[in-house]
Amino acid sequence: MILVVQPLPGIGDMIWHLPHIRALSRHFGGPVTLLAKPRSRADEIFVAEDTVEDIIWVDRNPEGRQGEHDGPIGLVRLIRTLRARRFDAAVLLHHSPSLAFATMAAGIPVRHGYGVGPQRLFLNRSGYLPPGGMREHQFDRATIFLQAAGVAIKEPEPYLSVSPVAREIVGQRLEGRPRPIVAVGIGSSEPSRQWGSERFAALVHALVEAGWPSLALMGGPAEQAILEDILAGLGTAATRVIPAVSWHLTETAALLADSAFYVGNNTGAMNMAAAVGLRTYALFGTTPPFRHSSAIVPIVSPSGGPIDGMARVSVEAVLDVVRADRGGLGPDGLFQNELDHHHESPP
């Protein structure tokens, strides 16, 4: 039994590590058990494949409360859980010394990891992350580590499998909705990454005016108010909106796979859009653009301070990028080509 540790908390974090988890499954000759945080929603991300056979949730550093695995007592709980599973090997796609200690204390005989700083004391297999590797994006960091450890990676960028069941559910849900669909990502894990209802309303209005018949507004429960604000400002055009807030991730993936392109915040849905092969116009107002996917077209804010970065991304700037990349703002011309280039199976 093989344990793979990927404790970064976000949906995007787990999407970035899809190629690495698959590579480890191939390397060890079967599905792995994944140690992950609940916010990653790894159970929904891996539902369409057999790479991961089980998930152990690690409850550390949750917002607003003490996690079950926080502190010395929590670490003991985690060690007991791991020891009971009798894993043959563990691979840490992270630099955490405490999680590496937990794998050692649990008696896992073979332990690989980044080997950064004190973590190396608790590992017993070479092939560490080279010096300077921690400065790389998490996707590149994990790739460099596995290459150093002699693990072959077949996928040059993240690919997300889409559940056939979810495709059927979404197909029924969208029955009668005209195509093509534009996916608009209004969700945000942090306030500093939120573009805001006023700008999104203007963007949706512009896309409606350009001739797009359906626009799916995607986000989580926290975006319900933003969705309602946008709908209120659209008038009769609100009938073109598909409210896709708080959908199951498998259904979100199926909706993205049935869309013409994604435009919106840098968030989990953005990473999912790129991972299903969708052209992805991502708003990076506060963070450096991601370069791990050829599907991502970054839209950055003008120079200035990082705090108000999203506020400095204008609606017209977003429309200009989409217009220039597609050769026009409307649905004519490129939609079928984009569909043809959607991934249908891992490379």
Least confident of 55-69, 104-118, 195-209, 295-309: 295-309
Q: Count structural domains, the chain.
A: 2
Q: What is the pLDDT of residue 305?
A: 56
Question: Would you call 148 exposed, middle or buried from its count of C-beta atoms within 10 A (0-12, 13-18, 19+)?
Answer: middle
226 and 103 part of one domain: no
Residue 208 lies in a domain: yes
| Residue after which a domain boundary falls, among 91, 114, 148 | 148
Residue 346 lies in a domain: no
For residues 207 and 308, give the distance between their C-alpha atoms in angstroms, rounded to a whole number: 25
88 and 172 part of one domain: no
Q: Determine the distance from the C-alpha atom of residue 208 to the mean position of all C-alpha atoms in its chain, rounded to a whole number.
A: 27
Q: What is the pLDDT of residue 304?
A: 60
Please say if the pLDDT value at position 341 is more than 70: no
186 and 137 part of one domain: no
Q: Determine the distance from the C-alpha atom of residue 318 to the mean position of all C-alpha atoms in its chain, rounded to a whole number.
A: 21
The strand ranges marked E within the chain are: 2-5, 32-36, 52-57, 89-92, 110-112, 181-185, 214-219, 241-245, 261-265, 280-284, 296-300
Give me the residues paired with residue 242 across strands: 216
Please state the rounded mean pLDDT for residues 224-240.
91
Q: What is the pLDDT of residue 64?
A: 82
Q: What is the chain's mean pLDDT, rounded?
A: 92
**How does pLDDT run across 79-92, given as a tens digit for each residue?**
999 999 999 999 99
87 and 132 part of one domain: yes
131 and 208 part of one domain: no
What lies within 8 Å, CB to CB, of 140 at 6+ separation is 292
For residues 103 and 93, give the distance between their C-alpha atoms in angstroms, rounded to a whole number: 13
What angle, 0 to 180 degrees and rounded to 10, lies between the N-to-C axes of helices 315-326 and 197-209?
A: 40
Under a CB-based contact definition with an 8 Å cutoff, are residues 96 and 8 in contact?
no
Residue 332 lies in a domain: yes
Please say if the pLDDT value at position 345 is more than 90: no
Please state the rounded mean pLDDT for residues 298-315.
80
pLDDT, greater one: 303 or 294: 294
Please say if the pLDDT value at position 167 is more than 50: yes
Residue 91 lies in a domain: yes
Task: Show the CA angle centred on residue 185, arms to residues 179 and 186, nearest 5°.
Answer: 125
- Domain containing 36: what range? 2-148
Closest CA relative to residue 183, chosen from 250, 258, 277: 258
170 and 41 part of one domain: no
**How does pLDDT run across 59-83, given as a tens digit for each residue?**
998 988 999 999 999 999 999 999 9
Residue 82 lies in a domain: yes
Least confident of 62-71, 123-132, 251-260: 62-71
Please state the rounded mean pLDDT for residues 131-159.
96
| Residue after which a domain boundary falls, among 148, 174, 201 | 148
pTM over cut 0.85: yes
Instruction: Give me the percent of the chain exceeding a pLDDT of 70.
Output: 94
Structure letter (DSSP) for residue 12: H
Residue 158 lies in a domain: no
> In this structure, what CATH number is given to the domain that contains residue 287?
3.40.50.2000
253 and 115 part of one domain: no
**Tokens in use for 162?**
């889409």
314 and 170 part of one domain: yes
130 and 203 part of one domain: no
191 and 246 part of one domain: yes
Please say if the pLDDT value at position 280 is more than 60: yes
Residue 157 lies in a domain: no
Q: What is the pLDDT of residue 49?
A: 93
DSSP string, 89-107: EEEESS--HHHHHHHHHTT
Please state the rounded mean pLDDT for residues 213-223.
94
Closest CA relative to residue 125, chosen from 109, 136, 105: 109
For residues 98 and 113, give the distance between their C-alpha atoms in angstroms, rounded to a whole number: 12
For the stretch 159-188, what's the b/e string if a residue is b when 16 or more beta carbons lie within 10 angstroms of its beta carbon?
bbbbbeebbebbeeebeeeeebbbbbbbbb
| Residue after which a domain boundary falls, among 85, 115, 148 | 148
Please say if the pLDDT value at position 347 is more than 70: no
14 and 66 part of one domain: yes
Closest CA relative to residue 52, chosen from 32, 75, 38: 32
Residue 345 lies in a domain: no
93 and 186 part of one domain: no
Please say if the pLDDT value at position 342 is more than 80: no
Q: What is the pLDDT of residue 97?
A: 98
